[in-house]
Amino acid sequence: MIREKLKQALEHLFPAGEAVPPAIVAEGEEPAEKTPREAVIETDYATCGYHLDIKTPPEQLIEVVSLIDQNDFFIESITGVDWIEEGEIEVVYDFSRYDFDLCRVVVRTRTDRDNAALPTITGVYAGANWHERETAEFFGINFIGHPHLVNLLLPEDSDIHPLRKDFKP
Contact between 160 and 154 under an 8 Å Cβ cutoff? The reply is yes
Lowest mean pLDDT among 29-33, 79-83, 152-156: 29-33
What would the mean pLDDT of 125-136 be, rounded to a whole number? 96
Q: At 8, is the secondary structure helix, strand, or coil?
A: helix
Q: For 43-58, what is each residue's pLDDT tens digit?
A: 888 888 888 999 999 9
What confidence score (pLDDT) does residue 48 get?
Answer: 86
Contacts of residue 32, defined as CB under 8 A and 6 or more positions apart, other chains included, come to: 22, 25
The CA distance from 148 to 129, in Å, is 8
pLDDT surpasses 90 at 6 = no
Domains, the chain, with CATH or none = 2-20+37-144 (3.30.460.80)
Contact between 78 and 135 under an 8 Å Cβ cutoff? The reply is yes
What confidence score (pLDDT) does residue 68 get?
Answer: 94
Contact between 141 and 89 under an 8 Å Cβ cutoff? The reply is yes
